[in-house]
Structure 1
Amino acid sequence: MKARDGILSIDIGGTKIKATVLNQAGEQISVYQKIKTPKLSSPEQVVKAILTLIKDFPAYDRVSVGFPGYVKNGIVRSAPNLAPNLWIEVPFAQQLSDRLGKPVRLLNDADMQALGIVQGQGFEIVITLGTGFGTALLMNGHLLPHMELAHLPIKTGKTYDEYLGKVALKKVGTKHWNNRLKKVLTILETVFQYDRLYIGGGNAKKINFKLADNIKSATNEDGIKGGAKLWQLDDHYGIISSHD
């Protein structure tokens, strides 16, 4: 792939859509901006919100999108934290590419954030604490197959999403939510024996306890830089549309 400048990097969240334009090194060349995620988060409404958000952005040649759901080959299989019944088998990478006239790569949001956060050495995990509970697994900087750990049960009748997501935080309060997070971190350490774990997402700022030495906090700005790394990966990540 020949060198190009200007990668529009978009992070779609349950409450906000964030975007910036990056250079090849992942450095921002436009201001990091946000817009509210539409209440009716259909594919068309999300595209309209993106177009509104980026209308004054500088020129770009390619697009990277982090999406809060299960994504395979540019196709959204599910998006329970957006609109559960409106995102089944949606070719969103191609839809967005058709509207922007640029090639688009689409990846799970935690996976894309992980590309911009990790050190690239050993077994690393990224979790995101936002509307739901996102996870990404990497070995020596390479993404491992995505698993929607958020939908595994952690206790009877409750998934990780329901245990640590935005609704749970509001319902049980910060103190109890932090106790839940401690429990989850212990489970992840026992199950995965990771070298490093990173915590991102908007609710990471609610953490009120000291993290272990091999657990680090990460910002949304760090994560969105993964949009540049996404275009350094093999073609099977996301989709390279006919506009490429």
Structure 2
Amino acid sequence: MQTLAVDIGGSGIKVIALNELGEATTERSRVETPNPAKPAPILTEIVSLAAKQGGFDRVSVGFPGVVMDGIITTAVNLDPEWIGLDLAAVLSERLGKPVRVANDADIQGLGTIEGKGVELVLTLGTGFGSALFVEGKLVPNLEMGHHPFRKGETYEEQLGRAALDDVGKKKWNERLEKAIATLEHLFNCDYIYLGGGNTKKITFDLPQNVKIVPNLNGLLGGIALWRD
């Protein structure tokens, strides 16, 4: 049973094939996210990438927003046309395979967590993604990135890629250090995991219970969507 794992991001679309154990059986493929990031061109890119991955039986998709029963309800870093789209149904029709869709940070977490205590996953990319797990169980629809953080701005406004480009690496790191301390205190986390492309910009020493995890986890976690 092969699962095609898809990660839709604000800057890139990635796919890989996984076996039943969630191990990669192909090389990861990536293309730039079309601009504007509307559904039609992104779906076309996914179909094209899928065709190069060989055979697969089902599909898992990570999407940067709130997903409820396969339907997109928020898409802050993509085009508003996504909102209300039944992505699972549309992509299933295009690929001819069953499709399950979840928030991208949730999938990153499913590919990362140990399943013990309170574990928080933060993704630092185009936006600021989050997923909270308690004893291995996901707390659903936690869009922490759009909650107030400091100076009247949200976590995403202070720590997304646009903020990094605007204020520079030094100030961005200072903000991230404050955010980690705030969230650790808020949730009393046993572990905090940091994923996403901007983790390579981190310059300060992380607390002992905070660690950077591979971006590949955002694809590998896709197997968990099929564990009924």
TM-score between both structures, scaled by the size of structure 1: 0.91
| 1:242 paired residue number | none
Give 1:43 shift: 1.3
Whether 1:106 aligns to 2:96 is no
Give 1:29 shift: 0.5
Whether 1:12 aligns to 2:8 is yes
Whether 1:93 aligns to 2:64 is no
Please, which of 109, 114, 132 is the counterpart of residue 127 of structure 2? 132
Query: Secondary structure in 1 aligned to 2:211?
Result: strand
| 1:56 paired residue number | 52
Query: Secondary structure in 2 aligned to 1:185?
Result: helix
**Alpha-carbon distance in structure 1 between the residues aligned to 2:121 and 2:83:** 25
| 2:163 paired residue number | 168
**Alpha-carbon distance in structure 2 between the residues aligned to 1:216 and 1:162:** 23
Whether 1:121 aligns to 2:116 is yes
Give 1:157 shift: 3.8
Give 1:90 shift: 1.1
| 1:44 paired residue number | 40
Query: Secondary structure in 2 aligned to 1:190?
Result: helix
**Alpha-carbon distance in structure 2 between the residues aligned to 1:185 and 1:157:** 18
Q: Which moved more, 1:153-162 or 1:114-123?
A: 153-162
| 1:224 paired residue number | 219
Please tell me the residue identity of whatever aligns with 2:70.
G
Q: What 5-or-longer segments of structure 2 have no aligned partner?
A: none
**Alpha-carbon distance in structure 2 between the residues aligned to 1:212 and 1:163:** 21
Give 1:102 shift: 0.5
TM-score between both structures, scaled by the size of structure 2: 0.97
**Alpha-carbon distance in structure 1 between the residues aligned to 2:49 and 2:125:** 20
Give 1:223 shift: 2.6
**Alpha-carbon distance in structure 2 between the residues aligned to 1:177 and 1:185:** 12
**Alpha-carbon distance in structure 2 between the residues aligned to 1:136 and 1:227:** 14
Please tell me the residue identity of whatever aligns with 2:57.
D
Give 1:143 shift: 1.1
Please tell me the residue identity of whatever aligns with 1:47.
L
Whether 1:21 aligns to 2:17 is yes
Please tell me the residue identity of whatever aligns with 1:141.
G
Give 1:222 shift: 2.2
Q: Which moved more, 1:57-66 or 1:218-227?
A: 218-227
1:199-218 CA distance string (max 9 Å, x none): 00010111011111111111
Query: Secondary structure in 2 aligned to 1:127?
Result: strand
**Alpha-carbon distance in structure 2 between the residues aligned to 1:119 and 1:226:** 12
Whether 1:154 aligns to 2:137 is no
**Alpha-carbon distance in structure 2 between the residues aligned to 1:91 and 1:50:** 16
Q: For the Cα contact (< 8 Å) 1:137–1:146, is it kept in 2?
A: no
After TM superposition, which residue ranges in structure 1, 4 or more long, deviate above 6 angstroms? none
Give 1:150 shift: 0.8
1:69-107 CA distance string (max 9 Å, x none): 111111000101011x21221111111111001100100
Give 1:55 shift: 2.1
RMSD: 1.0
Give 1:220 shift: 1.2
Q: For the Cα contact (< 8 Å) 2:62–2:218, is it kept in 1?
A: no
**Alpha-carbon distance in structure 1 between the residues aligned to 2:109 and 2:32:** 23
Please tell me the residue identity of whatever aligns with 1:99.
R
Give 1:156 shift: 4.0
Q: Identity over the aligned pairs, expressed in percent? A: 47
Q: Which moved more, 1:33-42 or 1:140-149?
A: 140-149
**Alpha-carbon distance in structure 2 between the residues aligned to 1:175 and 1:155:** 17
